[in-house]
Amino acid sequence: MKEVIAKIENMSKAFPTGEGDFWALKNINLEFLKGEFSGFVGPSGSGKTTLLNILGSLDTPSKGKVEVLGNKIQELNQRQASNLRSEHLGFIFQTYNLLPVYNVYENVEFPLLLLRMDAGTRDRMVKEAIEWVGLMDKIKSRPNQLSGGQCQRVAIARAMVKKPDLVLADEPTANLDTENSLNILDTMLNLNKELGTSFIFSTHDPKVIQYLRRIIRLTDGEVASDDPAPGI
């Protein structure tokens, strides 16, 4: 029996607008197991990113309960939410969002600095993570000296360096060509298998969808379907 790492119960999320509340998510009920490689799929405005933000403790639900790695998201204060993110969660963004003034090594090192690790351990873990994504030869390069695919690999290394329990990836291939997209997805799938890290994607990219082991389709803020990928 696999461990449940995230559980969503009767969760809804509203955003205030001039004409009253807009319900971006409605009555969501989901469970995620350790080691899953799953994703929210749906068109723009279906609530994928909002759901990902709530799972990542960047936002809170308006109704219902969300529990991630034993932490009740709706009850966390800012410090507890920061601790959850820095210790257990990794984020991968559509636009990479590397810190432009730092080189590859320093970008990957940043999450470990927040965890106040000693320099020796930090150095070993950073180099290990950069090796996972095959960028040892670019270790001193700045983001503006890298291609889009390389930047996204650095972003993966940054998300994975602290060996998080859960990685949340928001449209990670949206800015990449097919070859780079597949490389990135292979890398993430390998890390999922080797390290047992759970991945939850938000995507409408068919290339990503074909890699997912579980596809949760969202329509207008509601779960339309939640199925294993074909062939699983």
Partner 1 sequence: MFKFLLKGVFRDRHRWLFPVLIVMFTVGLLVFSFSFLEGYKQSYLRQTSRFNTGHLKVVSRAYAEMLDLKPYDLALLDIAGELQGYKARYPQLDWVERINFGALLDVPDEMGNTRVQGEVAGFAIDIFTDDSEIKRLQLDSALRSGRLPARSGEILLSTIAAEKMQIAPSDTITLMGSTVFGAMTMQNFMVSGTVEFGIASLDQGAVVVDIQDVREMLDMENAAGEILAFFKSGEYERKQAARIMQDFNQRYSDESDEFSPVMLRLEDQGSMGYILAMLDLSVLWMSIGFITVLGIVLWNAGLLNGIRRYGEFGVRLAIGESKRRVYAALLIEGLIVGTTGALIGVILGSAICIYFNRYGMDMSVYNRNSTMLSENVLYTSINAYAIIASFIPGVLSTVLGAALAGGAIFKRQTSQLFKELET
Residue 77 · residue 144 · CB < 8 Å: no
Using rule CB under 8 A, residue 12 touches partner 1: no
Give the residue, chosen from 12, 27, 53, 219, that forms a contact with partner 1 under the rule CB under 8 A. 53
Nearer to partner 1, 53 or 141 (CB): 53
From 27-35, 37-45, 106-114, 183-191, span contacting partner 1 (CB under 8 A)? 106-114
Cβ–Cβ contacts within 10 Å for residue 97, how many?
Answer: 14
Distance CA 156, CA 199 (A): 11
Using rule CB under 8 A, residue 87 touches partner 1: yes
Smallest separation (angstroms) from partner 1 to the CB of 52:
10
Using rule CB under 8 A, residue 71 touches partner 1: no
Using rule CB under 8 A, residue 62 touches partner 1: no
How many degrees, rounded to 5, is the angle at CA 170 between CA 197 and CA 228?
60
Nearer to partner 1, 93 or 213 (CB): 93
Beta strands in 116-165 (DSSP E): none
Instruction: List strands edge to edge, sheet with 198-203.
Output: 89-92, 166-170, 198-203, 37-41, 214-219, 222-228
Footprint on this chain of partner 1 (rule: CB under 8 A):
53, 56, 58-59, 78-79, 81-87, 89, 91, 93-95, 97, 99-102, 106, 109-111, 113-114, 158
